[in-house]
Amino acid sequence: MTARLTRFDWHGYLRSLRFSLYTMRRPLDGFWDLIHEKRGSMAAAHTIVAIAVIVEILRLVLTNFQFINLNMEMFSAWWVLGQMVIPILLFSVANWCLTTLFDGKGKISHIYMGYAYAMVPQIIINAALVPISHVITYSEGAFHWMFTIIGYMWFVLLLLCAMKEIHDYSFSKSILTTILSLFAIGIMIFIFIMFFAVVSDGVAYFVSIAQEAIFRIRRG
């Protein structure tokens, strides 16, 4: 019984992972089925995000130096991980907070899955551009930048389609809430920085008081 359940889980996981190729070709139907027909899964979304991080690291490290300016002494895989994962989490929280005010139907997990599945075309294009960058010349670099831009535009289009189907919005409302989500992310980051600064100053103040007290006790 356990073996059958394990095989079933793996089959469902692989099927939901393959479904990402359908969402990139038919986004409106795909993202509706992803959430409402439960064709997607959090496990597949986590896998896509992990692959996106790995591909981004490989892109930065292996792309021909003619098309990327990277200081390897300052490079950190953990920094890349943060750059990839934190925006997804912030967007999921910000979009959910906003859409609850605008009759949105999606959950945070749905938004996270929609974001992850929308990354698939960009992942494929970035992975393909790494070896391509070593067989084209600098004068042919326009093709490299063109496909990079196509990857970003495809991602944005899929993300808007995902938000539309997840929340059952119109395209105009999806665009509006997505833009507002970006502003909300900026506010969240600002509040976090201010909170961190206040906490740091508070800790430094009490540390200085403790040091002063220890110094006076030793002198006394």
pTM, 2 dp = 0.84
* pLDDT tens sequence across 11-53: 888 889 999 999 998 999 999 999 888 888 899 999 999 999 9
Cβ-defined contacts of 39-44 (< 8 Å, 24+): 39/15, 40/16, 40/113, 40/117, 41/12, 41/13, 41/16, 41/113, 42/109, 42/112, 42/113, 43/13, 43/16, 44/13, 44/16, 44/17, 44/19, 44/20, 44/113, 44/116, 44/117
10-residue mean pLDDT profile of the chain (220 residues): values are 55 88 91 88 94 93 81 80 92 92 88 95 93 83 87 94 92 91 90 85 78 71
* pLDDT tens sequence across 86-105: 999 999 999 999 998 888 88
Q: What is the pLDDT of residue 1?
A: 45
Q: Which residues contact 64 (CB under 8 A, 6 or more apart)?
A: 133, 134
Mean pLDDT across the chain, nearest whole number?
A: 86
